Structure 1
Amino acid sequence: MKRAGTALVVAGLAVVGLVGCDSGEPRSKGPTTTAKPALWNPCTEISDAALTEAGVDPTTEEKGVAGIPQSGWEICGWAGPDYSITVYTTNKPVADFEQKPGNVDFRDVTIAGRTGREFKVTGASKDLGCDVVFPASTGVVQLQIFNSAIKSGLDDPCAYLERVGEVLVPLFPN
């Protein structure tokens, strides 16, 4: 259930594509494309020890959205007894997140000495989730927490995000 909520949020963020056209004209010799720097991959760059310290089970790793890669994103999530976390990277700027309909309640936060923009996503799961985006040289790194929908008495998801962030944010690229 909590992974499905994450998938819906990610699906909303990941509906962006690039379309290319070929005029049929011969191409000039030499480089025709500029390679973008590879995105930082949370699935390979966050250690099992850090995930355990963050309160999730490393063996629950889920890449992409419901196991499906998303173009322009590196996405990895893990589940724990009280919450799940997902870490995303993309080359989009923080402003894209601020302008996306449904992203609300933005505020500046500092987690593990790094400044980011915390926000919520409107909808039925608004009170279960909390997100923060951190600017990075290749775009942003986003940390998302979703509380378990079947447990009661849990802390605010933004409080969990801050605690998890103290462990994970130092691992994120600048």
Structure 2
Amino acid sequence: MLVWALAGCGSAVEGEAEPLSGQEGLFDPCTDIPDSAIRGVGLDPLTKERDLVGVEELGWKICSWTGPWYFVVVMSNVYSLQDVRSNTDFTGFRDVEIGQRQGVQYSRAQDQVGASCYVATPVEQGTIWLRVSRMGLHPIEESTCTLATRYGAELETYWPH
């Protein structure tokens, strides 16, 4: 991909974008999940955002889309399901089926209102996480865990094995 970047006092530098070390081989939800699939699950591909506020995170590929009152975020990383279960930031682990895969559903430990829910499935590189989180203080119209499991089941066919 050709990238134009500002360097110094307004001059442009042309060149290829260099991924962060450790990013090679990670599933990239922004490019590996087609827009037609995003449209097919009822989200608008034009709302796609890469990374966290445009900042690439080492060891992660992140992509999000905006729903009516929530965000859907797909995160690819090198961590195992055991790493997820061992992380004290998360709680409420429940084994679930995500499409044709076995996975786990969980939430953040400090989330007392169900504002976000995650599902994760193992893949060769580590895990794919899908999170549904309400936007701001929008009312929660449906369980974020129900939505996360549904979106995971609908999109997992695009995830690596």
TM tier, smaller: 0.7 to 0.9
TM (norm. structure 1) is 0.74
- Name the SS for the 2:149 alignment partner: helix
Shift of 1:126: 5.2
The aligned amino acid for 2:86 is Q
* Alpha-carbon distance in 1 for matches of 2:23, 2:139: 44
Decide which of 27, 34, 50 is 1:47's aligned counterpart: 34
Unpaired runs of at least 5, structure 2: 1-20
User: Which has a greater percent of strand?
Assistant: 2
Query: What is the RMSD of the two structures over their aligned residues, measured on CA atoms?
Result: 2.1
> Is residue 95 of structure 1 aligned with residue 82 of structure 2?
yes
* Alpha-carbon distance in 1 for matches of 2:31, 2:87: 28
Decide which of 99, 116, 126 is 1:112's aligned counterpart: 99
Decide which of 129, 137, 140 is 2:127's aligned counterpart: 140
User: Which has a greater percent of helix?
Assistant: 1
Unpaired runs of at least 5, structure 1: 1-17, 19-34
1:126-154 CA distance string (max 9 Å, x none): 51111011100111111111134443361
Shift of 1:172: 0.8
Q: Could you say if the C-alpha distance between residues 122 and 97 of structure 1 is closer, same or farther in structure 2, counting changes exceeding 3 Å?
A: same
Q: Is the 8 A contact 1:120 1:126 kept in 2?
A: no
The aligned amino acid for 1:116 is G
TM (norm. structure 2) is 0.79
Q: Could you say if the C-alpha distance between residues 90 and 145 of structure 1 is closer, same or farther in structure 2, counting changes exceeding 3 Å?
A: same
* Alpha-carbon distance in 2 for matches of 1:113, 1:101: 28
* 1:75 counterpart residue number: 62
Displacement over 4 Å in runs of 4+: none
> Is residue 151 of structure 1 aligned with residue 138 of structure 2?
yes
Shift of 1:162: 2.1
| Identical residues among aligned pairs (%) | 28
* Alpha-carbon distance in 1 for matches of 2:123, 2:73: 17
* Alpha-carbon distance in 2 for matches of 1:40, 1:165: 15
Shift of 1:83: 2.0
Matched residues, number: 141
